[in-house]
Amino acid sequence: MNKRSFFVLFLSLVFTGINAQKLMTRNGYIKFFSHAPLEDIKAENNQVSSVIDLSNGTFAFVVPIKGFQFEKALMQEHFNENYLESGAYPNGTFKGNIEEYTKIDMDKDGTYKLKMSGVMRIHGVEKKIVEVVEFTVNGGKLNLFSVFNIKPSDYEIKIPASKQDNIADTLEVTVRMSYAAKK
């Protein structure tokens, strides 16, 4: 076997190895909660898709903005039409890296609090963020849980003065995902 074909073989082995380590979900859950003097608002979405590549610690998720459901239909319409402008920016996305991803051992149950850094893109605006994410391995399955804050103003989402008692400056975001091997 000459060396070139050896490398081709080696690379293809590496790629299959990488592919085998990709975990995915299409029905991840995300919620945001706003606490303001006049009202509390929450919206929930279970259409989040996400991929984790355990071979290199890369991670991404996509949140379809129209998938957020509110208790009031008109609020949902305003969220899409006036604030997130989901016609122009249909998805919120995140891509980043899990630090110390090698700690995650899929072969035994355990919980890992790991730092994740990357770029969040909402409303067409990108922002670098660093958050702590909790990974749980349970019976060979990987779950993700995280609670963090985001500011609409960071993503150029303007809240008119008349709505400042209805919508908080900082929203609490909860993310939960259960991954399965990518087909």
Partner 1 sequence: MLQKNNRLLKGLSLGLFLFLGFMASGQDDLLAELEADSKPKTSYAFATFKGTRVVNLQSPELPAKGVLQYMILHRFGTFRTNYFYNFLGLHNAQVRLTVDYGITDWLNVGIGQSSFQKMYDGFVKYRLCRQSSGEVNMPVSIVGYSSMFYTAQRTPENRPLNTAQRLSFVNELVIARKFSQNFSAELVPTLVHQNTVDSAAYSNSVFCLGLGARYKITKMHALSVEYVYQINPTKQFFDGTALQDYNNALSVGFDIETGGHVFQLFLTNSRGVSDPLVFTETPGNWLDGDIHFGFNISRVFTIVRPKLPRE
Q: Which of 21, 33, 36, 51 binds partner 1 (CB under 8 A)?
A: 51
Nearest 5°: phi and psi at 29? -115, 135
| Helix then strand then coil, % of the chain, to nearest 5 | 25, 50, 25
The secondary structure of 35-48, three-state, reads: ECCCCEEEEEEEEE
Is residue 46 part of the contact set for partner 1 (CB under 8 A)?
A: yes
Least distance CB 4 / partner 1 (angstroms): 7
Is residue 174 part of the contact set for partner 1 (CB under 8 A)?
A: yes
Q: Measured from the CB atom, is 136 or 174 closer to partner 1?
A: 174
d(CA 71, CA 67): 13
Place of tokens 């259960």: 178
Q: Which of 47, 136, 143, 146 binds partner 1 (CB under 8 A)?
A: 47
Q: Which of 1, 73, 108, 139 binds partner 1 (CB under 8 A)?
A: 73
Least distance CB 1 / partner 1 (angstroms): 12
Q: Is 169 left (phi over 0), alpha (psi -120 to 50) or beta?
A: alpha
Is residue 1 part of the contact set for partner 1 (CB under 8 A)?
A: no
Cα radius of gyration (the chain): 19
Q: Measured from the CB atom, is 34 or 45 closer to partner 1?
A: 45
Strand (E) or helix (H) holding 73: helix 73-78
Q: Which of 89, 90, 99, 106 binds partner 1 (CB under 8 A)?
A: 90
Least distance CB 77 / partner 1 (angstroms): 5
Q: Measured from the CB atom, is 46 or 149 closer to partner 1?
A: 46
List of residues 6+ apart from 12 with CB closer than 8 A = none
CB 103 within 8 A of CB 142: no
- The residues that touch partner 1, with contacts defined as CB under 8 A, are 3-4, 7, 10-11, 14-15, 18, 26, 29, 31, 42, 44-47, 49-51, 53, 56, 58-62, 64, 66, 69, 71-74, 77-78, 80-82, 85, 87-88, 90-91, 93, 95-97, 118, 160, 162-163, 166, 174, 176
